Amino acid sequence: MSRRLPVPLSSSMFGPLLDDLPEDIFDPGFAGACERLDHYVGALAREVGRDLSLSPGEPFDADRLMDERGWAPPSRATVEWLLGTLELYGVARRDGHEWLVADLDGHPPSAALRAAAVEADPSVAPAYEVMALAARAVPDVLAGKIRGEEALFGPQTMGLWFSYFSNDNPLYAPSNRIAAAAAARAAGPAPRVLEVGGGGGSAAQEIGRRLVADGKTPWLYHFTELQPAFLRRGARMAQAVLPPATAFKAFRYDINEPPWTQEVEARQYDLVVAVNTVHLARDLPATLAMLRSLLAEGGGLVLGELIRPAGNGTVHLELPFSLLSSYRETAGEGRPAGFLTEAMWRRALHEAGFQQVELLPAQLSRCVEAYPGFYCAALTAR
């Protein structure tokens, strides 16, 4: 099966499916940027497969392959990403426990596709560099020579990640904007807001701007992040868009630890928001229950997340995250590593005590049918 490519989001196919989203969620060039990135990821996956000497036309069992190559067991998530992505792009096929890979040659090189994409829109460059950085690290991470965290995060790459998670990156910004739209709908006047896992502050910028524009300027905004460099930058970015009257505070917060051990009081927030953070919880229902305990009566939890396709399908942008131990360790009985399906989120939220769960866009499943690479969504739980 060939990879299906995106259509313009203003087309008749998508228009009715996104009528619950504000019109400014997607930049005009978003669809074209997605299409170019799709081609690039497919080329990159084929090149990684060649680098790992996956023999075309010879059936193999993934577990046996890992044993024969001596690949570190925790790297199974990366192998699953590679095989699933090759299947997504029509150059691999699964038959029971065995895989069959087609000829991986004869396609445009990823470097040429990357150069053309950046020439067409220079603002997408960080997305391509992150994927290329991850692809280069795959052989050494599989062999156990280096940890994914060491390969991807360090003083020399921190600026790259700030740029990748930026609202100036049109391929990432919709995640922040959809979450901000959901937050504005869930908030009442002058809400008390807690953001967990705020990263470099790009989500806080969109959330703050949307709340102020909708006449719901936060009474207080608590920005939290675990990584010190991200916390410092994120606090500056968040504070820059909030009016002086908002009581602002930034501090470290770990979603895996009880709030009361981190000097966070129960029932003090009207809105708790997190963008691409909570899927990393080691015990998801426990983390969700702890976040619920922070909500005042009538408050809401808003989660901006990449939603995995039904049936644990491959997320083609997942490669960098599949290399990280914090991502891999989330796998368990009944759930894959990292990103979850809509059904998994709903089940986990209900287990945590939330009674009402809404999805934005509501027609996400139909959007995915139209374009399998449509992952951006926000869940609001009360």
pTM of the model: 0.92
Residue 36 tokens read as 């170019």
> What CA–CA distance (Å, rounded) separates 44 from 258?
41
What are 51-74's pLDDT values in tens digits? Answer: 999 989 889 999 999 999 999 888
How far, rounded to the nearest angstrom, does the alpha carbon of residue 110 sit from its chain's CA centroid? 22
How many residues are listed for the chain in this entry? 382
Asked whether the predicted pLDDT for residue 255 surpasses 90, the reply is yes
Side chain identity at residue 208, one-letter code = G
> What CA–CA distance (Å, rounded) separates 198 from 141?
27
What are 295-335's pLDDT values in tens digits? Answer: 999 999 999 999 988 765 678 889 999 999 989 888 877 78
How far, rounded to the nearest angstrom, does the alpha carbon of residue 17 sit from its chain's CA centroid? 21
Q: State residue 249 phi and psi, 5-degree precision.
A: -150, 140
* DSSP structure string for 320-379: HHHT-HHHHTT-BTTB-SS--BHHHHHHHHHHTT---EEEESTTHHHHHHH-TT--EEEE
Instruction: Give the model's pLDDT for residue 375.
Output: 85
What are 180-192's pLDDT values in tens digits? Answer: 999 999 999 999 9
Q: Rounded mean pLDDT of 203-215?
A: 97
Asked whether the predicted pLDDT for residue 273 surpasses 80, the reply is yes
